[in-house]
Amino acid sequence: MIILAIETSCDETAISIVEASGGITAPLFKELSRVVSSQIDIHKEWGGVVPNLAKREHQKLLVPVLLEAIQESGIAQTHTKAMPSDIEQILDREPLLFNSMKECEALQNVPAIDYLAVTTGPGLEPALWVGINFARALSSLWNIPVVAANHMEGHILSPLLRGENITFPAVALLISGGHTELILVKDWCTYELLGVTQDDAVGEAFDKSARVLGLPYPGGPEISKYATRGTTGALTLPRPMLHSNNLNFSFSGLKTAVKYYADDHAPLNEQQKADIALEFEQAVTDVLVHKTKKALEQTGASSLIVGGGVIANTRIRNTLSQCVGKNVALLLPDLVHCGDNASMIAAAAYIRIEKKETKCELVAHGSQALAVE
Ligand code: KG4
Ligand code: ZN
């Protein structure tokens, strides 16, 4: 089965073409192409993602990203088809995208794919809608069905793209710019929420703390870079909720502590920034590792899946690898699949197709959580 997946939930315009096989007993994914066009440079000057700018950029980028993904995949394009009249109506709210589709004759060649898949949530609604309407327009143009995919399910399944398989029950730790959650994965698509952040997501805490230190957006990779030059023990930051008797998290106090320390020591020199970055990273790692171990103990899960942009962080990756016991399999995504990409969306769509649990409703849900029990 060949799936062309579209992801526009935040500030990456991403399209992948993935060949999927094996069903739910042994799912196997081969990426034929993966194109991710980041809008970071546009949002950088605002210090974070601006939803309407993201919407405009997705409209401009989707057609070129699609052409690149089709070309890179080498898949056949069978026959040509004229543009149906309903496309203008489908793209009523995306005039830039409509123009770019209209001007692109190459889109009239139908690629040999079985399904289109698109992220319907969670994410920024204006951004999600662009991807959804693009998928609907392509579906009409090529006469190929569209499957809705959940972004967080995509992050959970991202380690499958490197050939890992999940043994159930599994604990999933999701750490991204918008989410910090511990989830019990009982079976394919069957979830129970174990813990969730009470305020900021981990990635958000990285981004906000980086801003306090005068480092550019996105702050995660910047803080990691600075942390490598930090001195251990130069300062102490709190480990919020480390000993709370539940699996919830809180990161806004940590960010505030960074701000107070920075204000008290202003102006910060480069070494002080590095020291704060290191202690911040250690505080986050301590909390994530502690709660994750607790979740594994409580559930007796046989595997730990970690997904989301923050698992690109070397310290968090290494510490989790060291602390997971021998009888728990650790499933981490490749670095290219930590941040937002469309291959994970293809994987999420495939599992839903195989389980015959596809939704026909193509509507953006900004806060569409995983359906938990
Ligand atoms: O999953 P993702 O690409 O987008 C969302 O769905 O949110 O995650 C983005 C987040 C950002 O907050 C970014 O700062 C963080 O992942 N991030 C990192 C690193 N690389 C990206 N955080 C810590 N260390 C990194 N190396
Ligand atoms: Zn994400």
Q: Measured from the CA of 202, which atom of ligand 1 is nearest?
A: 12
- CA–centroid distance, residue 85 to ligand 1 (Å): 40
Q: Does the beta carbon of 307 sit less than 6 angstroms from any atom of ligand 1? A: no
- CA–centroid distance, residue 16 to ligand 1 (Å): 20
pLDDT recorded at residue 222: 97
- CA–centroid distance, residue 309 to ligand 1 (Å): 3
pLDDT recorded at residue 195: 97
pLDDT recorded at residue 124: 95
Instruction: Supply φ then ψ for residue 184, to 5 degrees.
Output: -90, 120
Tally of CA atoms within 13 A in the half-sphere of 151 that contains its CB: 35
Show the beta-strand stretches assigned E in the chain: 2-7, 12-21, 28-38, 77-80, 109-111, 115-121, 146-150, 170-175, 180-187, 190-196, 303-307, 329-331
Q: What angle do CA 46, 5, 371 make, to 5 degrees?
A: 80
Q: Does the beta carbon of 312 sit less than 6 angstroms from any atom of ligand 1? A: yes
Greatest distance between any 2 Cα atoms in the chain: 67
Name residue, tokens 């993602």: 49
Q: Does the beta carbon of 111 sit less than 6 angstroms from any atom of ligand 1? A: no
| CA 297 centroid distance within chain | 26
Q: Does the beta carbon of 207 sit less than 6 angstroms from any atom of ligand 1? A: yes
Rounded CA gap, 272 and 279, in Å?
11
Which of 153, 204, 206, 344 to mutate for ligand 1's pocket (most ligand atoms within 8 Å of CB)?
206
3-state secondary structure of 240: coil
Q: Does the beta carbon of 118 sit less than 6 angstroms from any atom of ligand 1? A: no
Q: Does the beta carbon of 121 sit less than 6 angstroms from any atom of ligand 1? A: no
Which ligand is located closest to the Cα atom of residue 200? Answer: 1
pLDDT recorded at residue 274: 98
Which DSSP state fits 165? -
- CA–centroid distance, residue 143 to ligand 1 (Å): 36
Instruction: Supply φ then ψ for residue 21, to 5 degrees.
Output: -150, 175
* pTM value surpassing 0.85: yes
Q: Does the beta carbon of 281 sit less than 6 angstroms from any atom of ligand 1? A: no
Q: Does the beta carbon of 122 sit less than 6 angstroms from any atom of ligand 1? A: no
Q: Does the beta carbon of 218 sit less than 6 angstroms from any atom of ligand 1? A: yes
Q: Does the beta carbon of 154 sit less than 6 angstroms from any atom of ligand 1? A: no
Q: Measured from the CA of 177, which atom of ligand 1 is nearest?
A: 7
pLDDT recorded at residue 145: 96
- CA–centroid distance, residue 219 to ligand 1 (Å): 8
pLDDT per residue rounded down to tens, the chain (373 residues): 999 999 999 999 999 999 999 999 999 999 999 999 998 888 888 888 889 999 999 999 999 999 999 999 999 998 787 888 899 999 999 999 999 999 999 999 999 999 999 999 999 999 999 999 999 999 999 999 999 999 999 999 999 999 999 999 999 999 999 999 999 999 999 999 999 999 999 999 999 999 999 999 999 999 999 999 999 999 999 999 999 999 999 999 999 999 999 999 999 999 999 999 999 999 999 999 999 999 999 999 999 999 999 999 999 999 999 888 888 999 999 999 999 999 999 999 999 999 998 876 799 988 877 776 5
- CA–centroid distance, residue 122 to ligand 2 (Å): 9
Rounded CA gap, 55 and 89, in Å?
18
- CA–centroid distance, residue 11 to ligand 2 (Å): 10
pLDDT recorded at residue 40: 86
Q: Does the beta carbon of 123 sit less than 6 angstroms from any atom of ligand 1? A: no
